[in-house]
């Protein structure tokens, strides 16, 4: 019942926010957090994830709807929003999952045209439905599972784990679980022959916060978080203002359009791939040891490039 209540609150909040944007209002994360009695991080997540399919953008700390776009107001605005977003998400997953979801949604919507378009690039896991169903049940009932796992480096082995959450990072599906009280992340498609045991376990109350603050699947548990300071040029600044990273904190917005900001992480691999993606538009200022890792990786790349060519 609590889950339904949370869903209803989220849906109501998203509908109100979208209606305000549709009416031309410029919305502040802080003011919305006060209005809905929730955290600023939750509101920011609404814009960055839950409403990402809509043409909205952030300017001077205010969220706006792009000019010339309007959502047609109907008596079932909430239903239209939910179904359109769900349909586009399932299209991104592809495969059997997408085709089955489209058939079901078509019966509900009774229309062919969807004004929302997304490019999510989420891997298809429809061939793992049987294992996923078992894992979901085990998570809900807090039951330990036994399964086979192929880590692609060693022969397939059998393991016993406490399943906590099925998550998606950068389009790939993982199972977050505990094994011998150590937090593990298993690539979901490499799990097979899952079986629920009679043994139960206690859930970790900190997991949700850990996931909310994570940038990638490399997040760590029981590790003291540390701060990474970054500098973004004008082009990168626009992106990180539109879609802030979890725990992102802006230190300064400069007159030339550049930005200095910081993020809090638990593992260097949460930030290194992202900075590499944005080279030469994003730079690590501190700490020095992560900056040195990036410089070494870049030099190794240049050396290898010379050898190949």
What pLDDT does residue 290 have?
Answer: 95
Q: Does domain 126-205 have CATH number 2.30.30?
A: yes
Which pLDDT tens digit goes with each residue over 165-202? 888 888 889 999 999 888 899 999 999 999 999 999 98
**Rounded Cα distance, 174 and 187, in Å:** 5
- pLDDT under 70: residue ranges of the chain: 1-8, 53, 68-120, 204
Q: Hey, which residues does 173 pair with through a beta bridge?
A: 168
Which pLDDT tens digit goes with each residue over 134-167? 998 899 899 999 999 998 788 899 999 999 988 8
Name the strands in the sheet holding 249-253, side by side, starting at the edge strand that comes first in the sequence: 249-253, 259-265, 226-232, 282-286
Structure tokens at 101: 């979801």
What pLDDT does residue 200 have?
Answer: 93
What pLDDT does residue 74 have?
Answer: 42
Domain ranges of the chain: 2-65, 77-124, 126-205, 226-308
What are the helix and strand counts (H, E) for the chain? Answer: 10, 12
What pLDDT does residue 10 have?
Answer: 75
What pLDDT does residue 230 have?
Answer: 97
Q: Which CATH architecture has domain 2-65?
A: Orthogonal Bundle (1.10)
**Rounded Cα distance, 260 and 233, in Å:** 9
Q: Are 126 and 189 in contact (CB under 8 A)?
A: no
Asked if domains 2-65 and 226-308 share a fold, the reply is: no
Mention the CATH class of domain 226-308. Answer: alpha beta
**Rounded Cα distance, 71 and 19, in Å:** 8
């Amino acid at each position: 019942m609590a889950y339904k209540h949370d869903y209803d609150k989220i849906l109501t909040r998203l509908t109100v926010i979208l209606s305000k944007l549709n009416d031309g209002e410029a919305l502040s994360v802080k003011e919305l957090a006060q209005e809905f009695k929730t955290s600023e991080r939750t509101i920011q997540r609404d814009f960055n994830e839950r409403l990402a399919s809509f043409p909205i953008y952030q300017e001077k700390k205010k969220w706006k709807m792009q000019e010339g776009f309007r959502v047609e107001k109907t008596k079932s605005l909430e239903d239209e929003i939910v179904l359109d977003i769900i349909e586009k998400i399932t299209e991104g997953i592809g495969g059997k999952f997408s085709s089955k979801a489209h058939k079901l949604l078509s019966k509900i919507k009774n229309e062919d045209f969807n004004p929302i378009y997304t490019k999510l690039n989420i891997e298809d896991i429809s061939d793992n439905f049987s294992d996923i169903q078992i894992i979901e049940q085990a998570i809900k009932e807090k039951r330990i599972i036994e399964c086979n796992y192929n880590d692609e480096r060693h022969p397939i082995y059998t393991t016993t784990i406490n399943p906590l959450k099925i998550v998606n990072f950068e389009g790939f599906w993982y199972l977050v679980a505990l094994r011998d009280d150590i937090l593990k992340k298993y690539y979901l498609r490499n799990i097979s022959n899952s079986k629920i045991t009679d043994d139960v376990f206690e859930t970790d109350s900190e997991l949700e916060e850990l996931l909310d603050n994570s940038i990638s699947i490399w997040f760590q548990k029981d590790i003291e978080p540390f701060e990474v300071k970054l500098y973004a040029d004008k082009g990168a600044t626009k992106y990180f203002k539109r879609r802030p990273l979890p725990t992102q904190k802006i230190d300064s917005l400069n007159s030339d359009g550049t930005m200095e900001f910081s993020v809090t992480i638990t593992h260097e691999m949460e930030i290194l791939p992202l900075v590499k993606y944005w080279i030469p538009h994003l730079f690590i200022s501190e700490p020095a040891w992560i900056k040195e890792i990036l410089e070494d990786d870049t030099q190794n790349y240049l050396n290898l490039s010379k050898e190949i060519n």
